[in-house]
Structure 1
């Protein structure tokens, strides 16, 4: 059995569902590949238990966008889990396309969508790690000449140029705006 992406079409809304809190992170109906379901089918063809995977995959204008939704607080455990999801997802993705990792550096992007309310830093003293990747530091860095204008939060930038062409971190509102401006289904 050969698994195909097209067999796992779904909406962004459904792929953003948080079972723990019984809530959707976005209400957008743009069509994507439900990568969790794809990953289950991919591993079942080898009669193996499924590994963790990124939530959604979208192809647009000859590029791919992996999309991961996190409704809870982003802590070190969550970051480690995302790292595992990236690795497992890329292996199956590249296997189906019969490509190498260099393909991802040229054609694949990663979008991390987080709950702004659950990750607000206002009124709290920032830890060293939080400060390094905080919105406040991002604003300061954007004023410096020659510095990249957008710096992904939560240490997600470490995947850029290694696994992905671009990495973005958006809260739900920013993500909805990105989708509406960039994905024309």
Structure 2
């Protein structure tokens, strides 16, 4: 039981620890390095799913976990987007990266402000936020992998998924801001 209680937080800490590993693999000068960076990102994404799953299954919620989980998510996604942007600095990649990172900062600040007002539940995670996350994780995985797989243009698919994720990001930010708007007008 003791290990089960701490498993979600351990998985979240592993996700944070995987960030420098992903960076290292991304920049290693080997043919297989992007492949490994992709798989480290996939492993981090799986820990994101598993920590929530185990926390719900075993009803082991902690204040530390509630703080660390979204921070780990944002650090992982932001780091991956920044290294991808640095690797392919195009205007569309910059716009998508700025939209996704800007939304994360905006919604984090909004949630903190709403919590101070005692209205935290007004900006709970919406389904569009979950769908956005799925597109975002798939896009980043494809972009990190980069190489074509047989006849499949992996990087181009990743770009399309990233643009869809950016659109969903804007929409989800609108949903959160609309929910908070009544308190903002006061």
Q: How does the TM-score come out when normalised to structure 1?
A: 0.30
Structure having greater relative contact order (Cα 8 Å, sep ≥ 6): 2
Larger radius of gyration: 2
| TM-score normalised by L of structure 2 | 0.30
Q: 1 or 2, which has the higher helix percentage? A: 2
